[in-house]
């Protein structure tokens, strides 16, 4: 009985850790327009520029996050993050790599 309980508990814990949350943070104040940043040249060959964006700090104010260079991933393309209008406000959709 004790073995069955421990096995069940272990399985439940593993399932709990593997579940992905889809919680969204909704911001009621419209984000500012992105800053215009001129990127002069690539840092190195085979790199992609990740554009800076506005994010919300703990006090609810928008702060600018600078862009940066990152090495390309073979077979993938970078999809930039963006603010999306949703019911009740705005939510940030993070950038991610997508299979080409």
pLDDT at 51: 92
pTM of the model: 0.65
Which tokens hold the place of 55? 């994010």
pLDDT at residue 35 in the model: 86
Whole-number average pLDDT of the chain: 80
pLDDT < 70: residue spans in the chain: 1-23
């Amino acid at each position: 009985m004790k073995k069955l309980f421990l096995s069940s508990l272990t399985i439940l814990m593993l399932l709990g850790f593997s579940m992905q949350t889809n919680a969204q943070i909704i911001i009621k104040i419209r984000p500012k327009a992105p800053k215009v940043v001129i990127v002069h040249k690539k840092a190195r060959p085979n790199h992609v520029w990740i554009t800076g964006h506005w994010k919300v700090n703990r006090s609810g104010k928008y702060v600018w996050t600078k862009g940066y260079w990152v090495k390309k991933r073979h077979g993938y393309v970078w999809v930039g993050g963006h603010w999306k209008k949703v019911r009740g406000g705005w939510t940030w959709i993070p950038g991610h790599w997508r299979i080409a």
